Structure 1
Amino acid sequence: MARETSNLKNKSVSYDSSDEEEDLVDFGLALEKLSLVPRKKLLVLSLGGLLCHRVFRHDKSKIPRYRDPDTSYGSFLVYKRPHCEEFMKFCFERFEVGIWSSAREWHLNNTLDCIMRGMKSKLAVAWDQDKCTDSGFKTLEKKDKPIFLKELKKLGSLGFEHSSKVLLIDDKPYKTLLNPPHTAIFLNEYNVDQVNDTALGPNSELQLYLDGLAGAENVPSYVKEHPFGQPAITPEHSDWEYYSRIIRRLKEE
């Protein structure tokens, strides 16, 4: 047995150049096949208002008595939207998924640790307020709240140079003011008091909508043909005069 092992170690191996060329051809064909597999579309989700609700712990009137928070950090309590985890699994099966929040980095990280437990590493991107564009304007609802915009063109760094493969999902239509039309949909904002909320649930309108999008040729055509949720801000919007000022200001810069 020892002699056999020694013979195997000392045995020289010769290579036929034709075999090597065939291997290179096979490898090239394998790469070509991989390149033909279409890349999944990118789904970019908001955080607060879409996947969860955050409450200031000292604002006692807004803290529900019937439910404990899913996590807490600093001065905040965080409540996951019903069916959040199942919804994220659903999305990961069909899309590349990113999170883009207009909150600060430490808010984003602490919240993701809760709602994305076991799935955080799957995210294509996790962006916070630093990746948003500060419009210099305030929201109409809260005069002290800045309007941050999410510009699709910034996702080019991820290899998504064209908006035809990206869908933003948010609860604030003004955040997409600078983007091409039909590249986002807007759900109603989630509040922890909505105990029977099923927006993210199995077989919900949203899941059926995204199922259709996953197989669609491109995002804008699908969104245009299948209106969903809150309307985007267009010249027909009741507050267009205000929002158009934001667009003009930023395009001048």
Structure 2
Amino acid sequence: MRQPQAIDHFKLASWTYEMATAYTRSAKVMSDTVKHFTHVRHKSSRASPAYLATSNTPSSKGNDSRRLLIILDLNGALVSKTGKSGMWVRPHYTEFLEYLFSQFEVGVWSSARQNTVSNMCQLFGNFKKQLLFTWSRENFGLSEDDYLKNIPTIKDLQLVWKSLEDNPDMPSYTAYNTILLDDSSSKAALQPFNSIAISEFNHKSAEKQLTGDNELLNVIAYLEKVKYEDNVSNFMKRNPYKKDLASDETTERDFESTHFRYSDAKQTLGDLRNTAGLTNDGVSRRRTLEKKRPGHRKYRKSKQASSKPVTPQS
């Protein structure tokens, strides 16, 4: 004799368990979602009233230059990466670094991950030990989910200023004496008048191939004006950075770009007018050429494969 009541109880218990499990999973997802959006919601992307008040405080020019803090972006601003193997560095970077480290305090803040930032910092050479700090994606305060995504990031200079407060040997850094150099103006949304929005450097750019690149000389010329001001944010608000300060005359140096290979920091000098020669580092290109030699084993193997008779398809 059938016992429908027992079967119904079993189905009910099974259904209840599945519903409870689904509810638990749903609650966890909702909790994580709330945490994520709470994190995003409270991160403003607009300049604060206090910052705007500072930028409206008139700046006065002194006779002595100030020891400003210059925060450098890397990829797109100073370098152009070639995948994970290396990078090409912007023309005139040696003059630029010599000028910066003789005049200012210098730090690095990139939205790339720490290992990539460490590789790109090879461009500093002996100046690397003089960097005040080297920040990466780990210093944005991103959630774990956002850290793994390619999302827009904002460089809040308040984080830098607070981190330097505990150093008794450092002067107080604020909007009065800090400059961010970045190829993306959106990165400076919270302190827009403390940013030099430099054009993007891409070693494959058709424009760079025709005109070269002397923008780092432009930046030096601009900093020569800013360094005497006692309120950087106000001066830069009234006199924003323009890309026509240096000479318009193109020189051979404007086309010189240096390649750094991450594995051993080997440097190779290249020319922006030869974009085909800048797609890979010297070793990779040399290996490519070697494979085309008649005596190379891969060349012989490819020739043997190409010489095999083709069986006609029926």
TM-score w.r.t. length of structure 1: 0.60
1:171 aligned partner? 183
Gaps of 5+ in 1: 1-36, 57-74, 139-143, 231-253
**Counterpart residue identity of residue 79, structure 1:** W
**Structure 1 residue 136: Cα displacement:** 10
User: In the alignment, what sits opposite 1:191?
Assistant: 202
Looking at secondary structure, tell me which structure has more strand per residue: 1
Q: 1:79 to 1:183 in 2, by over 3 A?
A: same
**2:65 maps to 1:54:** no
Aligned pair 1:119/2:89, yes or no?
Answer: no
Residues 161 and 205 of structure 1, relative CA distance in 2, 3 Å threshold: closer
Mapped to 1, the partners of 2:236 and 2:125 lie a distance apart of 30
Identify which of structures 1 and 2 has the higher relative contact order when contacts are C-alpha pairs closer than 8 Å and 6+ apart: 2
State how many pairs are aligned. 166
Task: Tell me the distance in 1 between the aligned counterparts of 2:192 and 2:78.
Answer: 24
Residues 134 and 149 of structure 1 are in contact (CA less than 8 Å); yes or no, is this contact kept in structure 2?
Answer: no
Tell me if 1:45 matches 2:80: no
- 2:174 equivalent to 1:162: yes
- The structure-2 alpha-carbon separation of the partners of 1:78 and 1:220, relative to structure 1 and needing over 3 Å to count, comes to same
For structure 2, the 5+ residue unaligned runs are 1-63, 166-171, 244-314
Letter in 2 for 1:83: H
- Relative distance call for 1:211 and 1:180 in structure 2 (3 A) is same
Cα RMSD, aligned residues only? 2.5
Percent identity over the alignment? 28
Cα gap change, 1:107/1:229 in structure 2, threshold over 3 Å: closer, same or farther?
farther
Q: Residue 218 of structure 1 aligns to which amino acid in structure 2?
A: N
Q: What is the CA–CA distance in structure 2 between the aligned matches of 1:134 and 1:181, rounded to whole Å?
A: 21
Work out whether 1:92 is the aligned partner of 2:101.
yes
Q: Which has the larger radius of gyration?
A: 2
The one-letter code of the counterpart of 2:107 is G
Task: Quickly say closer, same or farther: Cα 1:153–1:88, change in 2 above 3 A.
Answer: same
Instruction: Give, in whole Å, the separation in 1 of the partners of 2:73 and 2:98.
Output: 16
Write 1 or 2 for the structure with the bigger share of helix: 2
Distance 1:38 1:89, change over 3 A: closer
Stretches (4+) displaced over 3 A: 133-138
Could you give the per-residue CA deviations for residues 24-58 of structure 1, whole angstroms, max 9, x where no partner exists? xxxxxxxxxxxxx99611000100011100122xx
CA distance, structure 2, for counterparts of residue 136 and residue 183 of structure 1: 29
Query: Measured at CA, do residues 134 and 50 of structure 1 come closer, stay the same or move farther in structure 2, by a change above 3 Å?
Result: same
Residue 182 of structure 1 is matched in structure 2 by 193
